Amino acid sequence: MTPERKFGDVILSVEHITLTFGGVLALEDVSFDIRESEIRAIIGPNGAGKSSMLNVINGFYHPQEGQIMYRGATRSKMKPHYAASHGIARTFQNIALFKGMSTLDNIMTGRNTKMKRGLFWQAIRIGPAMTEEIKHRDYVEHIIDFLEIQAIRKTPVGRLPYGMQKRVELGRALAAEPDLLLLDEPMAGMNVEEKEDMCRFILDVNEQFGTTIALIEHDMGVVMDISDRVVVLDYGKKIADGTPDEVRANQDVIDAYLGISQEEVGAVN
């Protein structure tokens, strides 16, 4: 059904990134790039440095060495605020939603970087600010429709089941109309049905909006099905990079996954 996919230029590349925490090496000389409109997976066993990598890209961690090239500009470190306002949105492994707020409000916060400044007008919500609010609400409603979460629009997210929270978090990231979407284990802790739904949403986002997606996953089976290219990390080092088929055939990858628990091996097959 899907014709040959074409990818654009490199949108982000990490170059020789090394990250340590008080002497403990989390990432060592890792380099790879992400191309426009592709689904790029970062996989690896537990503790391989996947989450650290994502946190470096979005500016939560600042690497000791190396640099990040994003949209042509090279920086030695990202800042979360800069990343967010320049089109990088993300989700978290342990869901970082605003639990007390409704689904709608949560996704509305995702529009934060899209809202014009002008605190005062915003505060009293009249005139142009009101029109702007309506415009953003309209966009958010499209996301709600897209993710099929109309039924929980007004529900405080803290009361939602886990799988739904993951979906809302994806919605909040999408609300920023990101160029690059970072997903930290989007399918962790989900049942089969929820995983299928999430896969469909990820593919649809990529297809419909052309959003570039970088995702970390633990469950290799799922990743291989939906990604275009895969980076494999092990003990903070890059051990493979390529299409799912290439990666699957890579001896280092097989060893890395065999070297750990049985359960992980199950996930590979």
Partner 1 sequence: MSTEGLDTFPKLLLDRAKRFGSRSAIREKDYGIWQTWNWRRVEAEVRALACGLAARGFTRGDKLAIIGDNRPRLYWGIAAAQALGGIPVPAYQDAVADEMQYVLEHAGVKFVLVEDQEQVDKVLEIQDRCPSLKEIIFDDARGLRNYDRTHLHDFEDIQQAGREFDQKNADFFEQQIAQGHGGDVAIILYTSGTTGRPKGVVLTYDNVLITARNGASFDNLTADEEVLAYLPMAWVGDHIFSYAQSYVTGFCVSCPESGATVMHDLREIGPSYFFAPPRIFENLLTSVMIRIEDAALPKRKLFDYFMRLARRVGPDILAGKEVSLVNRMAYYLGHLVVYGPLKSNMGMSRIRLAYTAGEAIGPDIFDFYRSLGINVKQLYGQTEGAVFVTLQPDGEVFPDTVGKPAPEVEIKITDNREVVYRSPGVFHSYYKNPEATRETKTEDGWVHTGDAGFFDENGHLKIIDRAKDVGKLNDGSMFAPKYIENKLKFFPHIKEAVAFGHQRDYCTAFINIDLEAVGNWAERRNLAYSSYQELASRPEVYELVQESVEKVNEDLARDPNLAASQIRRFLILHKELDADDGELTRTRKVRRNLILEKYLPLIDALYSDVQSCYVETQVTFEDGRTGKIAGDLQIRDLAAQPLMEAS
Partner 2 sequence: MGSELLFFSETVISGLMAGVMYSLVALGFVLIFKASGIFNFAQGVMCLFAALALYDFLSADGWASQLLGFTIPLWLAIVLTIAVMIVLAWLIERLVLQYLVKQDPIILFMATIGLAYVLEGVGDILFGSDVKPLDIGIPQGASDWALDTMGLYVEKLEVVAAVTAALLVAVLAVFFQRTRIGRALRAVADDHQAALSVGISLRAIWVIVWSVAGIVALVAGIMWGTKSGVQFSLSLIALKALPVLILGGFTSVPGAIVGGLIIGVGEKVAEVYAGPLVGGAIENWFAYMLALAFLLFRPQGLFGERIIERV
Which residues of the shown chain bind partner 2 in the complex (CB under 8 A)? 58, 60, 80-81, 84-85, 89-90, 92, 96-101, 105, 108-110, 112-113, 115, 119, 122-125, 133, 172, 176
- The least distance separating partner 2 from the CB of residue 108, rounded to whole angstroms, comes to 6
Nearer to partner 1, 71 or 142 (CB): 142
| Interface size with partner 1, residues (CB under 8 A) | 19
From the list partner 1, partner 2, none, which binds 126 (C-beta under 5 to 8 Å, kind-based)? none
From the list partner 1, partner 2, none, which binds 2 (C-beta under 5 to 8 Å, kind-based)? partner 1
Residues 91, 139: Cα–Cα separation, whole Å: 19
Query: Using the rule CB under 8 A, is 146 a contact of partner 1?
Result: yes
Nearer to partner 1, 152 or 240 (CB): 152
Residues 166, 150: Cα–Cα separation, whole Å: 15
From the list partner 1, partner 2, none, which binds 194 (C-beta under 5 to 8 Å, kind-based)? none
- The least distance separating partner 2 from the CB of residue 128, rounded to whole angstroms, comes to 13
Q: Which of 231, 239, 253 is nearest to 13 (CA)?
A: 231
Nearer to partner 1, 9 or 207 (CB): 207
Nearer to partner 1, 52 or 103 (CB): 103
Residues 49, 18: Cα–Cα separation, whole Å: 11
- The least distance separating partner 1 from the CB of residue 154, rounded to whole angstroms, comes to 8
Report the Cα 193 to chain-centroid distance in Å. Answer: 20
Residues 33, 68: Cα–Cα separation, whole Å: 10
- The least distance separating partner 1 from the CB of residue 151, rounded to whole angstroms, comes to 4
Distances (CA, A) of 61 to 17, 78, 107: 11, 8, 25
Tell me if 68 sits within 8 A of 14, measured CB to CB.
Answer: yes
Under DSSP, the state recorded for 48 is S
Tell me if 210 sits within 8 A of 37, measured CB to CB.
Answer: yes
As separate numbers, helices (DSSP H) first and strands (DSSP E) second, the chain gives 11, 10
Six token digits for residue 84: 């967010």
* Pairing of the two strands 65-70 and 10-21: antiparallel
- The least distance separating partner 2 from the CB of residue 98, rounded to whole angstroms, comes to 4
3-class secondary structure, 260: coil
Task: Give the one residue of 207, 225, 245, 255 binding partner 1; rule: CB under 8 A.
Answer: 207
Query: Using the rule CB under 8 A, is 141 a contact of partner 1?
Result: yes
Query: Using the rule CB under 8 A, is 225 a contact of partner 1?
Result: no
Residues 58, 56: Cα–Cα separation, whole Å: 6
Query: Using the rule CB under 8 A, is 1 a contact of partner 1?
Result: yes
From the list partner 2, partner 1, none, which binds 85 (C-beta under 5 to 8 Å, kind-based)? partner 2
Residues 223, 215: Cα–Cα separation, whole Å: 9
Q: By the criterion CB under 8 A, which residues form the site for partner 1?
A: 1-3, 137-138, 141-142, 144-146, 148, 150-151, 153, 200, 203-204, 207-208
